[in-house]
């Protein structure tokens, strides 16, 4: 079985950092090994800070609406916290899941349970960290017994997750699982038919893969997720290690 590369293996293969044109470096000087400066946001220039701050303010306003939402009466009456999203407001890459679980409902933070821990390993295997990507769900409240979102619940939350994505304006979106992919792409195709190919949502390139919770039940599917991540990172310009390792 092909396993996801470990974060340690990925760290040894991170690409060299790009140097500013104005620097003068002796030809014999070794290059540092680090992540590309453009991974976290669309540009690393300091003059983008006001735009990022504005994006954060707009997301905060949507978050306030979500916290007060009562559209899904059954979900709102059971929730401990709404789960809005986490990550930089100018992220190049967003991961979109389906709904919060028990751990997320308790903490108000997306993907912090067992599936979230596996997602973190996947992100790190891609030479990224969680603070370099934005993570959100279609639903902002936990469904009872972690059942899949119902169509009316997706419709009630669509305005929230669509507006989040519009504010962040990511270059890439990775849908995790059938519910997230079907909600974003508005299709009834199962994840097995959606993965391994590219779609578009607004200006973002979209790729779909299995949800981490599915991988916990079906570890052999990790190799498919790793294939999808190689496709995604290749398009983002991030070189990944080729050798398998324990995740």
Domains of the chain by residue range: 52-236
Give the helix/strand (H/E) hosting 136: strand 134-137
Q: What is the pLDDT of residue 241?
A: 78
Cα Dmax for the chain: 66
Q: What is the pLDDT of residue 52?
A: 73
Give strand pairing partners of 175. Answer: 96, 208
CB of 139 closer than 8 Å to CB of 34: no
Confidence band, pLDDT 50/70/90 cuts, at residue 24: very low
Angstrom distances, CA of residue 188 to CA of 61, 143, 192: 32, 20, 12
**pTM above the 0.75 mark?**
yes
Pairing of strands 204-209, 199-201: antiparallel
Of 123, 129, 133, 116, the closest CA to residue 168 belongs to 133
Q: Give pLDDT tens digits for 41-93.
A: 554 433 444 567 899 999 999 999 999 999 999 999 999 999 999 999 999 99
Q: Which CATH architecture has domain 52-236?
A: 3-Layer(aba) Sandwich (3.40)
Lowest mean pLDDT among 22-26, 55-59, 233-237: 22-26
d(Cα 147, Cα 31) in Å, to the nearest integer?
50
CB of 31 closer than 8 Å to CB of 105: no
| 173 Cβ contact list (under 8 Å, min separation 6) | 93, 94, 95, 96, 165, 184, 201, 204, 205, 206, 207
Report the residue count for the chain.
247
Q: Give pLDDT tens digits for 90-117.
A: 999 999 999 999 999 999 999 999 999 9
Q: What is the pLDDT of residue 42?
A: 58
d(Cα 136, Cα 145) in Å, to the nearest integer?
20
Q: Please give, one letter per residue, the 3-state secondary structure of 171-235.
A: CEEEEECHHHHHHHHCCCCCHHHHCCCCEEECCEEEEEECCHHHHHHCHHHHHHHHHHHHHHHHH
pLDDT over threshold 50, residue 34: no
Of 142, 167, 168, the closest CA to residue 153 belongs to 142
Residues 230, 89, 152: CA angle, nearest 5 degrees: 85
> If you average pLDDT over every residue of the chain, what do you get?
85
Q: What is the pLDDT of residue 3?
A: 54
pLDDT over threshold 50, residue 4: yes
Express as a percent the part of the chain with pLDDT over 70. Answer: 77
Confidence band, pLDDT 50/70/90 cuts, at residue 240: confident
CB of 156 closer than 8 Å to CB of 71: yes
């Amino acid at each position: 079985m092909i396993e996801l590369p470990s974060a340690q293996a990925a760290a040894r293969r991170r690409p060299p950092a790009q140097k500013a044109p104005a620097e003068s470096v002796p030809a014999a000087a070794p290059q540092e090994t680090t992540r590309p400066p453009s991974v976290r946001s669309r540009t690393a220039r300091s003059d983008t800070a006001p735009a990022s701050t504005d994006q954060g303010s707009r997301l905060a306003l949507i978050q306030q609406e979500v916290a007060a939402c009562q559209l899904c009466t059954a979900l709102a009456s059971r929730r401990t916290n709404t789960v809005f999203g986490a990550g930089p407001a100018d992220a190049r890459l967003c991961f979109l899941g389906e709904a919060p679980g028990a751990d997320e409902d308790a903490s108000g933070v997306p993907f912090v349970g067992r599936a979230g821990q596996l997602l973190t390993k996947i992100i790190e295997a891609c030479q990224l960290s969680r603070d370099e990507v934005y993570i959100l769900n279609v639903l902002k409240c936990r469904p009872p017994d972690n059942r899949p979102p119902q169509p009316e619940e997706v419709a009630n939350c669509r305005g929230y997750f669509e507006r989040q994505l519009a504010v962040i304006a990511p270059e890439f979106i990775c849908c995790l699982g059938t519910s997230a992919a079907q909600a974003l792409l508005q299709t009834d195709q199962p994840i097995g038919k959606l993965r391994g190919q590219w779609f578009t949502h607004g200006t973002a390139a979209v790729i779909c893969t299995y949800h981490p919770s599915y991988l916990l039940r079906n570890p052999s599917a990790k190799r498919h997720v790793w294939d999808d991540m190689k496709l995604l990172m290749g398009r983002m310009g991030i070189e990944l290690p080729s050798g398998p390792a324990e995740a």
